[in-house]
Structure 1
Amino acid sequence: MILIVDDIRANIIALKKTLEIHNIEVDTAESGEEALKKILKTNYCLIIMDVQMPGLDGFEVVKILSGNKRTKDIPVIFLSAINIEKKYIFKGYETGAVDYITKPVDTDLLILKVKTFLKIYEQQNELKLMKDLLSKEIKIRKEAQDNLEIKIADRTKELVAKNEELELKNHELQQFSWVVSHDLNEPIRKIQIFIKIIKELYLKEDAKGVDYVNRTVKAAERMQTLITDLLAYSRLSAKVVPEKTDLNIVLQEVLSDFDYLIERKGATIKTGELPTIDSIPSQLRQVFQNLIGNALKFSGNTTAPLIEITSQLIKTKDFDSETDPDGKFCRITVSDNGIGFDEIYLDRIFVIFQSLNDRQTYEGTGIGLAIAKKIIEKHNGLITAKSQLGKGATFIMILPLKYEN
């Protein structure tokens, strides 16, 4: 709300109508004394004040307002037809007014100034409110900080205790895995041995019996593979110190293991230069083994398998990061031209025991990619895949060159 102060009622009415046309709320006072009484009771955004009035003139009223903590920031515009000399204008500004307008008044200019000062007043109030909120926030934070160190110490102690408990349970779980693995593998080995003996001694002439025995042996082999994979998955929780690893050597060892299968399938393997990184070599060997093994397994029967392994140094730990010869991360891709998969199942392929294919056609436990994901994450990396049905698959890994806890 704006307060108009003038001892001539006609001036007040004319100015009030002008302001109200522009939807500006107006209050009025016909003397300096009346103005002071109203100002002490009401919060005004702006005061338009005549200079020459009987009793308290405009200068005296503004001087009183400037000395009051509550009213000193209210902007005042002096409006005068008589006191138009420079000395009065200077005095108006010295007293504390924000503007001094002489009559005759340009109405458009006055409205523009009024709106400007109203906007400034609103912004000042917003800033004051923000300042008050910040002061309260600082006070609250200071009070909270007084007890923060004690809380941090207590929390640290609690976390250390939890960590020790977790390590103990993890150790027990690993021991349990070893025991279970041995206890489960032993009877399976015996089943395989005795089934083969039965086949050789008693079922040579029985084609149907031999078929049943072969199915039993295959089932036992699948169980043995499953136990081995589960044991490998559980071992990933163990702490191992990373070392400098030339991934080219790791890859060549894996390809050497697949020599027979590569030759049998007529596969072509194309490899680029891979970096040397901080890693656990045996674990990354397992990752390459799983990815290349899958590429050979799911190659289909129409064309010879083509597998490409490439690497790039990149700026950031992101699948779409720009290449950078001085980058701190590497992006390794393993691509094939196999049967592929529908990307709507992307989240499923890295989940333990999940398989998108018929296990009668493509044998497997559904643990390989879960192991690969856990290993990559343990190395502070990322793994994903891109694929289309019938158009092959590309697995993308992001790994840091330097290992950090």
Structure 2
Amino acid sequence: MVLIVDDIRANVIALKKTLELHDIDVDTADSGEDALKKILKKDYCLIIMDVQMPGLDGFEVVKILSGNMRTKEIPVIFLSAINIEKKYISKGYETGAIDYITKPVDSDLLILKVKTYLKIYQQQTELKAMKDLLSKEIKIRKDAQNNLEIKIKERTKELVLKNEELEMRNHELQQFSWVVSHDLNEPIRKIQIFIKIIKELYLVPDKKAIDYVDRTIKSAERMQTLITDLLAYSRLSSKVMPEKTDLNIVLQEVLSDFDYLIERKNAIIKTTELPTIDSIPSQLRQVFQNLIGNALKFSGSAEVPYIEINSELIAAKDFDAPVSAEGKYCRITVTDNGIGFDEIYLDRIFIIFQSLNDRQSYEGTGIGLAIAKKIIEKHNGLITAKSQPGKGASFIMVLPLQYEEIK
């Protein structure tokens, strides 16, 4: 919930309506004293604070909040039409605010900032909860395994490293909206322009080179589509409406992205007809990229990689549901003959930053399957896997054919 603090009622009403149009929960206070009382009783994710108010002004309120262990982490945005000089803006940051916005306010920019800071606050809260869980796990292991102190030290070191990695990624996410908006689209456009110039002026007689250039252009176009989808997702709302999606087209685009690796590894790819469903195409493309990419990466060195993608309509949202020509769900299976894994680690493979393999031998961040699981769940679907060490793996997804709003 966002708390708006302003002694002018008209300002409060206007800002409250703007935020509520974007499904943001809002509470209000008409003075610094009223704000402090409410903050002591409720938990807020963000405070939008006027600077000049009778009684306690905005600077004094934020200074009080910064000195309290419970409230010092709440992000505060100052909003002022009067105190717009540099010295006031500097003072705002010095007291502990994360931003200082002067009026008149660009409502689109304000909404983007509010959503970004809310997302950051949520991520920081999750990170803190994860830290607490990690601390508890360390304590439990120390109490239960006093005779295994060396292993505990190694585990603690691993947890610290992963915690540092999470903090780094959390910092990167804080810059996400602005990076997408200002830094990604422009390079992609330039890549497309320069590649087309090279194609038209220098590669006319070389058919193979033109083929490679065409693939590069298509990859750049898909990347630009992904960037556009992500930007729309972050700017508008957390809900992205699905569209009719032919999964055969999505799969062929993914296989085209991997064609060089498939050719280099002499991989055999077998596919059956996939259905058309309601989905977010760029997200399901990412799921197929992760699953097929893993199948190629973990193929081992002893045999030719074999990957099979098949689909069937089923009667219910269940991994073991019977096949039905009138079914409202589809079961898609991606099977490979790679190194596989022990199913006792099934829960771990879908957890972010978890990897069952030596990262020196197999490159990766340990995030791909976690992303795949999150995407499938956002589509109101299910995902699991079956495998044995050295005997390949099968990843099974169940997805509804028609959009179902998750309640």
The TM-score range, normalised by the shorter chain, is 0.3 to 0.5
**Which structure has the bigger radius of gyration?**
1
Q: TM-score, normalised by structure 2?
A: 0.46
Q: TM-score, normalised by structure 1?
A: 0.46
